[in-house]
Amino acid sequence: MKSKAAVMVSPYKMETMEIEVPKLEKDCALIRIELSGICGTDKHSFKGENKQYGGTAGEFFSQYPFIGGHETVGIIEEIGPEGAKNLEFYGKTLKPGDRVVVIPDLYCNNCYYCRQMPFYPWCDHIQGHGNISLKEWPYLNGGWSQYLYTRPNTDLFLMPEDASPEVGSLIEIFVVAYALDKVKEFYNFAGEGLGFGDNLAVYGVGALGLAHVIKARLLGVDKIIAIDRSQFRLDLAKRFGADITLNVNNTTAEERLETIRSATEGHGVDVVVGATGDPSTFNESLDLLRKVGTYIEVGQFVDLGEVKINPHKILSRNLRVVGVSDHPTFGYDATCRMLERFKNLYPIQEMITKRFGLEHAQQALERALADDVMKITFDPWKD
């Protein structure tokens, strides 16, 4: 059997290929993909910007050619007896016909971090679906494909029967928005971190930023300010809960600061979420915070270099800067239940701007770079 797949052969170049599906091993599974999104990281890889986990033992460069796609949901086509027992995230038994989300990260389960800090993907040998060379077994390592072949160290999340594939393909970014749960830790210190009724700005409301807007609303944040260069995305952010939207194309940094200060009694926001993936927004983001505010960096998953920073800015207001590179190995179940519970209030399937078949891979990636899109998704069975 062959699987059609969209392969990133080099920067700015996609090809649709037919790849032989390997024989199924007893501890593996074959997933028939329903949807697999194009993430910000994929867009960076498409532009040749592909250094990840820089400065760590797991420093990694995407290995062209590879089948992209790590926001992936599908139906189990076939599963080996060991895989049925071992692959599910929460210890459930799997069978053909089950709808599963393929968790992006693959860990070695042997390094110091896997053994000592197993609840977060710190692994020194981390790999990610949608980022592995096409030459590496089992070849079908990404979601932009009719089939994905999971290895024994894959985690699958069994979706509830009534959950939709759209939620499945979008859930990962909402799990990353655990970043907001993370900064709630600091609320134990009077007035720090994130708490009920706090004000928050999200700089960059692509899909990941928008997930933070929605999650912030669910967590009881008061004013939410969305900042972006795309009016299309800002309009969606407003529809999904932002109170104030600021377009960087028609406001100055001073005007944005002024707007945010006047919306917060002169203080600035309690939390800024940096989700632009653009280092040049870092300094301004710090300026938007009140004293003892918290900045969360969640967008710069790809290393795009340095910016000048005045450390006094951090000291003078006792700011806290928190990096979030991934998501913990829990959260899928809770996130799925909450997205289902609030699906009428937050119809997140509307975040999917357009679906492409695999034959149109080049067009899909080019479209994903535009400003007037939120999420572009592959439907591998569409023409």
For the bound state, the minimum distance from the C-beta of residue 301 to Zn ion, rounded and expressed in Å, comes to 7
> For residue 18, with 0-12 CB atoms within 10 Å meaning exposed, 13-18 middle and 19 or more buried, which class applies?
exposed
Q: Would you say 56 or 259 has its CB closer to Zn ion?
A: 56
For the bound state, the minimum distance from the C-beta of residue 326 to Zn ion, rounded and expressed in Å, comes to 9
Type of residue found at 319: L
Taking a C-beta distance cutoff of 8 angstroms, is the pair 31, 79 a contact?
A: no
For the bound state, the minimum distance from the C-beta of residue 117 to Zn ion, rounded and expressed in Å, comes to 10
Q: Would you say 131 or 245 has its CB closer to Zn ion?
A: 131
For the bound state, the minimum distance from the C-beta of residue 352 to Zn ion, rounded and expressed in Å, comes to 15
For the bound state, the minimum distance from the C-beta of residue 310 to Zn ion, rounded and expressed in Å, comes to 31
Q: Would you say 104 or 193 has its CB closer to Zn ion?
A: 104
Taking a C-beta distance cutoff of 8 angstroms, is the pair 332, 305 a contact?
A: no
For the bound state, the minimum distance from the C-beta of residue 81 to Zn ion, rounded and expressed in Å, comes to 26
For the bound state, the minimum distance from the C-beta of residue 292 to Zn ion, rounded and expressed in Å, comes to 31
Q: Would you say 123 or 224 has its CB closer to Zn ion?
A: 123
For the bound state, the minimum distance from the C-beta of residue 124 to Zn ion, rounded and expressed in Å, comes to 5
Q: Would you say 41 or 72 has its CB closer to Zn ion?
A: 41
Q: Would you say 84 or 213 has its CB closer to Zn ion?
A: 213
Q: Would you say 21 or 301 has its CB closer to Zn ion?
A: 301
Q: Would you say 72 or 245 has its CB closer to Zn ion?
A: 72
Closest alpha carbon to 71 in 139, 147, 166:
166
Q: Which residues bind Zn ion (CB under 5 A)?
A: 39, 41, 107-108, 111, 114, 123
Q: Which two tokens stand for residue 173?
A: 């970014």
